[in-house]
Amino acid sequence: MLVNQDYVLATIASGAWSGNTPTFSGAMLLQVVVKATTNTTVFDFNLTDKYGVIVAEWKDIGGELNAQVSIPLRGIYTKAISNSTADEDFKVELNVDEN
């Protein structure tokens, strides 16, 4: 198992941010970590495929999302934070097993 980390420091503006992943080919998403600067910040996070289909979604997260998942990935995905109660920096990390 080779686990790679897709990591970005995201700056929220007007309660939202989005960015693309690298291109995945036959990968498995294992963990999603999204951490606001302050633990009282509430936000939503989703991962969307190239067709606009939401493949994973979490709502009303307080401070930090740390989810263990098993989602197959192929292609480029959009990571999006929305409805943030504060405009601040977020750490966004996807841990992916690439075969």
**Three-class DSSP labels, 3-39:** EEEEEEEEECECCEEEEECCCEEEEEEEEEEEEECCC
% of the chain residues with pLDDT over 90 = 91
CATH of the domain at 14: 2.60.120.380
Work out the end-to-end distance of the chain between its first and last CA atoms, rounded to an integer number of angstroms.
Answer: 7
Structural domain that includes position 80: 3-98
Domain count, the chain: 1
Q: What is the pLDDT of residues 16-37, one digit of tens each?
A: 999 999 999 989 999 999 999 9
pLDDT interval class at 98 (50, 70, 90): confident
Which residue's entry shows tokens 């999204």? Answer: 34
* d(C-alpha 45, C-alpha 92), whole Å: 10
